[in-house]
């Protein structure tokens, strides 16, 4: 049996010039290490004081996000720590992935010291304001006998009749946070008494979106599930917000977002509607655990509905657009 070779899931070229930062004491003396990601002659290298530390991307096979990569670097490099190690990850401007400063702790054995993760007595609320909104997608499987009618309604921009046709149809709905290059969310962290201990803005960037194992929950179609005809209806939601239960002393600067694309890349494209980067404000990763929102809210939609119907192309293994209306 041919064994499939696993690949590194982290594209380190996206993080060129970023640094793994470590500080600790060794024999009572302060030590600071800055390991830089470099595009070297033979590909990605990891440099300390302008010298490679000997790691290659193959050493990071199995890592799902930058936190996992930090452990690989720490265990390879640090042999002389007296006790705990403080660590963070930042770009060349010393900005973290979220734009919020944080420090993570490693034990003497170079494992994360995550504290009491079971005491979820704090709350965090994320809010997508008008500049960066959540998009809601309704999707329908359409029988072939109705395709011509729906294509005609879309082509003639008869959205009222189309909505009447779809009114009592079975449908699924998914909400995603789409953007291009960079976006922002506001946040509010509250303690067990309901008092706000921190609030502000957290940035969302592609470098902080990761494809975790089993995080394909937002996909409406894939290589194994692709109805022949698919109708999508999109709308923009007003001030969407989500609330999570999180551990005491929660540090929002540490969170990572999950890849929430509606379909694998190039299998389903809706140009001008789908954002380049897609995640969800209903879930995030924190200290190795995936958190899901306990509560969702918004103040309705903008009524900016768009419609599109697609047909599956079995030869090309992707959907073709038949008609669209915005």
Q: At 48, which helix (H) or strand (E)?
A: strand 43-48
Of 127, 241, 133, 211, the C-alpha closest to 178 is 133
Q: Which two tokens stand for residue 18?
A: 């970023």
Cβ atoms of residues 125 and 241 within 8 Å: yes
Query: Measured on CA atoms in the order 38, 39, 43, 49, is the torsion positive or negative?
Result: negative
Tokens 């504290």 sit on residue: 115
Q: What is each CA distance from 103 to 89, 190, 255, in whole angstroms? A: 9, 20, 12
Q: Is the pLDDT of residue 3 over 60?
A: no
Name the band, by pLDDT with cuts 50, 70 and 90, for residue 6: low
Q: Is 141 exposed, middle or buried (0-12, 13-18, 19+ CB in 10 A)?
A: middle
pTM over 0.85: yes
| pLDDT tens per residue across span 97-148 | 999 999 999 999 999 999 889 999 999 999 998 689 999 999 999 999 999 9
Spatial contact of 238 and 133, defined as CB atoms under 8 Å apart:
yes
CB 87 within 8 A of CB 22: yes
Kindly write down the DSSP assignment for every residue of 238-280, as one continuous string.
SSEEEEEEE-TT--GGG-BEE---SSSTTTS--TTTS-SEEE-
Q: Return the pLDDT at 1.
A: 44
Contact 232, 308 (CB under 8 A): yes
């Amino acid at each position: 049996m041919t064994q499939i070779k696993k690949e590194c899931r982290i594209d380190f070229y996206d993080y060129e010039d970023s640094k793994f930062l470590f500080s600790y004491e060794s024999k009572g003396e302060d030590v600071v290490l800055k390991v830089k990601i470099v595009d070297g002659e033979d590909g990605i290298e990891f440099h300390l004081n302008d010298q490679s530390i000997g790691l290659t991307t193959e050493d990071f096979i199995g890592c799902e996000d930058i936190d996992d990569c930090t452990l690989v670097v720490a265990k390879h490099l640090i042999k002389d720590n007296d006790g705990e190690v403080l660590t963070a990850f930042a770009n060349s401007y010393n900005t973290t992935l979220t734009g919020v400063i944080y420090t993570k702790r490693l034990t003497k054995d170079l494992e994360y010291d995550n504290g009491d993760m079971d005491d979820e007595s704090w709350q965090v609320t994320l809010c997508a304001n008008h500049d960066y909104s959540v998009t809601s997608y309704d999707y329908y499987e359409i029988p072939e006998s109705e395709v011509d009618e729906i294509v005609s309604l879309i082509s003639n921009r008869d959205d009222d009749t189309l909505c009447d046709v779809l009114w009592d149809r079975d449908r699924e709905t998914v909400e995603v946070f789409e953007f291009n290059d960079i976006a922002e969310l506001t946040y509010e962290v509250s303690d067990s008494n309901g008092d706000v201990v921190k609030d502000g803005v957290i940035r969302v960037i592609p470098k902080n979106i990761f494809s975790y194992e089993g995080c394909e929950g937002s996909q409406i179609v894939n290589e194994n599930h692709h109805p022949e005809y698919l109708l999508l209806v999109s709308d923009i939601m007003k001030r969407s917000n989500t609330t999570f239960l999180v551990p005491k002393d929660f540090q929002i600067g540490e969170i990572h977002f999950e890849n929430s694309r509606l379909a694998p890349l190039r299998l389903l494209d809706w140009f001008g509607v789908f954002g380049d980067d897609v995640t969800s404000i209903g879930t995030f990763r924190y200290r190795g655990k995936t958190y899901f929102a306990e509560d969702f809210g918004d103040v309705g939609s903008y009524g900016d509905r768009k419609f599109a119907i697609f047909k599956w192309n079995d030869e090309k293994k992707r959907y073709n657009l038949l008609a669209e209306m915005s």
